[in-house]
């Protein structure tokens, strides 16, 4: 994983908008987040995470034959961030694509990569989550509900085939519900606004900032996450008690505590890092993987359940034997 060096605390935010450390910590569990330094680009974050993942795997960029990059904060309107990353890795024609499934993006990509490897289409897939939210936030008091939540960061994994049927990705389940697309979205710039994607009126209406119906999102997250987690475990005849480690998307610590309570997951089996990084959307789960591995929680043989919910709405869960 890679996060920018610049730490933005809740007190820093309270100096530019009407909020407080107490409000943010109580409602979300977030203490600080990282924001890029001026000039840093999303692909820079993705490259730093990727190089670490490759080094840990003893691989070179050219050893990868597909790059999938999940983001909702792309470096440009087009092409996707993955193309900038591919170039920065010094690759010439390795295929790459961006996957737009917001906070569930990493798990969507796991399913896709798993299927492509099993089909024999690709042998080694780089999967990267990368977000730069800080440049797209309304940091006035009007945007405080969203601005305090999001942070910048990136995480990467390399997937390849293995012979052991009991190891690796055992199951991934993904779901979407476009009915609620507008309840958590950034409407502009997008081709849905006419006659132009970006006008002074659009800026005045702040359509280029995220719009979020927080309570509605919260309610759906705490329903869908346990649902898809159990669906995924059930598909491979496993139970909650069988799982060694639960990694939940880092949107709000209260959501995760609620879900853990509902499923009777003991505290020591749930690893969170939202307090230090905020919500890094598609990067949150690979960042959790990195830190839980560093802390010795991902020993070989451990069963890890990962679950996410996000804009779209989208939700997903994966069960992996380390």
Q: Is 243 in the site for ligand COA (CB under 6 A)?
A: no
Residue ranges of alpha helices (H) inside the chain are 10-14, 21-28, 42-57, 81-88, 105-119, 144-147, 200-204, 214-235, 253-262, 274-277, 284-294
Q: Is 252 in the site for ligand COA (CB under 6 A)?
A: yes
Per the structure block, which two tokens stand in for 6? 């610049």
Q: Is 215 in the site for ligand COA (CB under 6 A)?
A: yes
Instruction: Clarify whether 279 is annotated catalytic.
Output: yes
Catalytic residue among 249, 256, 272, 290: 249
Q: Is 144 in the site for ligand COA (CB under 6 A)?
A: yes
Residue 234 and residue 45: Cα distance in Å, rounded? Answer: 36
Per the structure block, which two tokens stand in for 278? 């905020």
Letters for 271-290 (x = contact with ligand COA by CB under 6 A, - = none) are --------x-----------
**Radius of gyration (C-alpha) of the chain in whole angstroms:** 19
Q: Is 322 in the site for ligand COA (CB under 6 A)?
A: no
What's the number of CA atoms in the CB half-sphere (13 Å) around residue 316?
A: 25
Residue 168 and residue 185: Cα distance in Å, rounded? Answer: 34
Instruction: Clarify whether 103 is annotated catalytic.
Output: yes
Number of residues that bind ligand COA (CB under 6 A): 20
Q: Is 239 in the site for ligand COA (CB under 6 A)?
A: no
CB 34 within 8 A of CB 6: yes
Q: Is 258 in the site for ligand COA (CB under 6 A)?
A: no
Q: Is 256 in the site for ligand COA (CB under 6 A)?
A: no
Cβ closer to ligand COA: 66 or 101? 101
Residues carrying an active site annotation: 103, 249, 279
Summarize as ranges the residues that interact with ligand COA (CB under 6 A): 19, 23-24, 27-28, 103, 144-145, 148, 212, 214-215, 217-218, 221, 251-252, 255, 279, 310
């Amino acid at each position: 994983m890679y996060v920018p060096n610049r730490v933005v605390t809740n007190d820093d935010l309270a100096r530019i908008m009407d909020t407080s450390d107490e409000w943010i910590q109580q409602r979300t569990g977030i203490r600080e987040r990282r924001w890029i330094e001026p000039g840093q680009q999303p692909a820079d974050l993705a490259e730093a995470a990727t190089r670490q993942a490759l080094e840990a795997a003893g691989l070179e960029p050219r050893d990868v034959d597909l790059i999938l990059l999940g983001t909702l904060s792309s470096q440009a309107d087009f092409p996707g961030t993955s193309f900038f990353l591919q170039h920065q890795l010094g690759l010439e024609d390795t295929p790459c694509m961006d996957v737009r499934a917001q906070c569930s993006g990493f798990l969507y990509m796991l399913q896709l990569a798993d299927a492509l490897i099993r089909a024999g289409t690709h042998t080694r897939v780089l999967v990267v989550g990368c977000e730069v939210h800080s440049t797209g936030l309304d940091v006035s008091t009007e945007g405080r509900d969203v601005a305090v939540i999001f942070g910048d960061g990136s995480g990467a994994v390399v997937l390849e085939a293995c012979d052991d049927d009991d190891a690796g990705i055992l199951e991934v389940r993904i779901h979407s519900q476009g009915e609620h697309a507008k309840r958590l979205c950034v409407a502009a710039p997008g081709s849905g606004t006419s006659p132009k994607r970006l006008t002074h009126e659009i800026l005045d209406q702040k359509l280029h900032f995220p719009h979020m119906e927080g309570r509605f999102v919260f309610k759906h997250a705490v329903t869908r996450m346990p649902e898809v987690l159990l669906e995924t475990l059930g598909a491979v005849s496993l139970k909650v008690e069988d799982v060694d480690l639960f990694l939940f998307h880092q949107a709000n610590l209260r959501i995760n505590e609620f879900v853990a309570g509902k499923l009777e997951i003991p505290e020591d089996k749930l690893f969170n890092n939202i307090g230090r990084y905020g919500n890094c959307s598609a990067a949150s789960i690979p960042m959790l993987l990195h830190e839980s591995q560093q802390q010795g929680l991902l020993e070989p043989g451990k069963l890890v359940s990962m679950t996410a919910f996000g804009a779209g709405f989208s939700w997903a869960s994966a069960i992996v034997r380390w």
